[in-house]
Structure 1
Amino acid sequence: MSGRELVVLGTASQAPTRLRNHNGYFLRWDGDGFLFDPGEGTQRQMLLAGVASSAVTRLCLTHFHGDHCLGVPGVVQRLSLDRVAHPVRAHFPASGQEYFERLRHASVFHDVVDLREEPVDQDGVVSATADWTLEARRLDHPVEAFGYRLVEPDGRRMLPDRLARYGLAGPDVGRLQRTGLIEVGGRTVRVEEVSAPRPGQRFAFVMDTRICDAVHALADGVDMLVIESTFLDEDSALADSYGHLTARQAGVVAAVCGVRCLVLTHFSQRYGDPVRFHAEAAAVYDGEIVVAQDLMRVPFPGRRPA
């Protein structure tokens, strides 16, 4: 199983269809699992997609419209039912604290999950570990909404032949990575001598919004952009009035921001043919385009060349 991949759980917008469940996106990122915008029915979609509740370590909500959050009760209760042992951190707009409390305690259940609420009230870093930083930026939607950006810092890839040349192995390699240099056989070996640059990877999740500076800031240079494309360009006036994007706008964002893989989703039920979304984005963007389908798995792109 891939260490990094996107599992699409649902791709509809306001109204689900026979082929599209409400929103839901699971990003597997090494040992972490980010569940974004679980709409109604997400618990069952996770079962169908083979995503265990124990794989979820972060719950990230962009806003509190129903198609982005009505699956929270089922997911939270499943975490308790399965007695998930690790903490699960929940990020959501702080202005919707009341709604999150209602969703979290929507019905009677034996609540044993360690769910740690970390509301978002401004642009900036939401959470950080040694391996990644999760950022948020406020979008332009009729209700407060935030997009998310996951950033892995640049690092270095150790080169086995170089390590062998200098007689480095075992704990000495870890010590070199931590300190940047080490004494071996009477000489100083620097990490640059036995490694190569390893560009960090980046992911962005942009849901309901009009075009705004935050969209471009979130998408800038990412390897994968999951972005709403609720409408086609023929309905651009309607998209703007409701605070949404078109497939063409999403394509322009990807082109301008240097995105490597563009994942289009959150489709209005008024359209029956998803091929039109691909064609519209492809007219302005020549990178990889994925028109999301329920239960699809999208492998994360390989690393950029150093």
Structure 2
Amino acid sequence: MSARDLIVLGSASAVPTKSRNHNGYLLRWDGQGLLFDPGEGTQRQMSLAGVSASDITWICVTHFHGDHCLGVPGIVQRIARDGVAHPVDAAFPASGARYWERLRHASVFHDTGVIRERPVSGDRAVLADGPFTLVARRLSHPVEAYGYRLEEPDGVTMLPDELAARGVRGPLVRRLQRDGRVAVDGRTVTLDECSVPRPGQKAAFVMDTRLCEGVAELADGVDLLVIESTFLGEDAALAAEYGHLTSAQAARVAADAGVRHLVLTHFSERYGTDDEHRFRDEAAAVFDGEITLVRDLDRVPLPRRRAARA
């Protein structure tokens, strides 16, 4: 299986700091590369992280505040300059189409035809349904904003002992997986007899929002939740006013949703490096699973698959 991991290209909020670039997150998934919220400087951060424009197959913008989209011109122009040949789907709130158009054509360059625009509207939209499902869900922010959820279909894990006991071997195994049944020595062997269900992996990306139904739906049962934690609990009133989450709120979402790995990011510049441990401490008081408080250029692997169900 190809790499499945998150590469953090930036983790600041509205104002970048000396140690944190504007937002940017590349989720690599079996040869696909989903670039979420490319903020200012994302193109350079990609170079530092050792990834290229050819790694990108999706650009997913949650909303059109600058720290989530000002890197779009550089990314699009790099895709064109590097001659990326495969299609690159671009998802963004339809209500911000005029901002997308300005960013997409921000300066003179030899344009590319590989960008396929996928404007999102309504409370919920399915953007892809193939090797994985990609869903956008409306969130609660002063401007229209969406979160994204990527979900692999459930599969099966084959049981070698059961296959051997029924004489299923070689090409018959693949046929059994494809068709759900095969004939062996005059007997029909079914897939259920020789396998157990294997839950598909899931990841969610939740940026600027207050607590709302959309957050809970996106986070439900995911293996990896990348979520903003702009404020500490002492500034919860500011978080509510500006449409953001605190670290403790993000952790409560993870705990209630059965998340396996909680990734905290999008930190306000009002806090210094000496405050960073407080984000983790507040989250750990609520959520007892794995927590990563990211730094720029971190690589966060998806958790190992959940065990197959007998």
Normalised TM-score (structure 1): 0.96
1:143 aligned residue: 143
Instruction: Specify which of 282, 286, 291 is matched with residue 280 of structure 1.
Output: 282
Aligned equivalents of 2:110, 2:174: Cα separation in 1: 44
Could you tell me which residue of structure 2 aligns to residue 13 of structure 1?
13
**What does 1:5-84 align with in structure 2 at a 5 Å threshold?**
5-84=5-84
1:299 aligned to 2:301? yes
Q: Tell me how far apart the structure 2 counterparts of residues 203 and 11 of structure 1 sit (CA, whole Å).
A: 18
Tell me how far 1:125 sits from its aligned partner. 3.8
Asked whether the 8 Å contact 2:124–2:138 carries over to 1, the reply is no
The answer on whether the counterparts of 2:12 and 2:266 sit within 8 Å (CA) in structure 1 is: yes
Q: Deviation per CA, 1:77-97, whole angstroms, max 9, x where unpaired?
A: 111111111100010000011
Q: 2: CA distance between counterparts of 1:185 and 1:125? A: 48
TM-score (norm 2): 0.95
Paired residue total: 306
Deviation of the 1:164 alpha carbon? 3.8
Query: Does the aligned pair in 2 maintain the 1:208–1:228 contact within 8 Å?
Result: yes
Q: Contact (CA 8 Å) 1:79, 1:113: kept in 2 or not?
A: no
Cα distance, 1:2 vs structure 2: 5.9
User: Who is 1:234 aligned against?
Assistant: 234
CA–CA separation in structure 2 for the residues paired with 1:169 and 1:90: 44
| Cα offset, 1:171, TM superposition | 3.8
Structure 1 segments, 4+ long, off by >4 Å, are none
Tell me the residue number matched to 2:121.
Answer: 121
The residue that corresponds to 2:292 in the other structure is 290
SS in 2 for 1:119: strand
In structure 2, distance between residues paired with 1:248 and 1:52: 35
Question: How far apart in 1 are the matches of 2:235 and 2:2?
Answer: 38
Q: What are the Cα deviations for residues 266-297 of structure 1, in whole angstroms up to 9, with x where unaligned? A: 00001112111000111111111100100000
User: Which position in structure 2 is the counterpart of 1:162?
Assistant: 162
Aligned-residue offset at 1:51: 1.4
Aligned counterparts of 1:111 and 1:130: Cα–Cα separation in 2: 28
**2:125 touches 2:137 (CA, 8 Å); kept in 1?**
no
| Secondary structure, aligned partner of 1:118 | strand
d(CA) in 2 for partners of 1:5, 1:79: 22
Query: Deviation of residue 157 (structure 1)?
Result: 1.4
Distance 1:160 1:230, change over 3 A: same
Deviates more, 1:25-34 or 1:151-160: 151-160
User: Following TM superposition, by how much is the alpha carbon of 1:200 offset from its aligned partner in structure 2, in angstroms?
Assistant: 1.0
Q: Following TM superposition, by how much is the alpha carbon of 1:103 offset from its aligned partner in structure 2, in angstroms?
A: 0.6
| CA distance in 2 between partners of 1:8 and 1:161 (Å) | 42
The alignment partner of 1:301 has SS state of: coil
Who is 2:204 aligned against?
Answer: 204
SS in 2 for 1:178: helix
Report the AA paired with residue 90 of structure 2. A
Which structure 1 segments of 5+ residues have no match? none
CA–CA separation in structure 1 for the residues paired with 2:177 and 2:4: 23
Offset of residue 201 of structure 1: 1.2
Amino acid at match of 1:24: G
Q: Deviations over 1:215-268 (max 9, x none)?
A: 111111111110000000001111111111100111111111111100000000
* Percent identity of equivalent pairs: 67
Worse-superposed segment, 122-131 or 141-150: 122-131
Separation (CA, whole Å) in 2 of partners of 1:221 and 1:199 = 11
Distance 2:286 2:244 in 1: 18
1:259 is the counterpart of 2:255:
no
The match for 2:111 is 111
Q: CA RMSD in A?
A: 1.4
Question: Could you list the per-position Cα deviations for residues 45-70 of structure 1 after superposition, in whole angstroms to 9, with x for gaps in the alignment?
Answer: 11111112111111101000000000
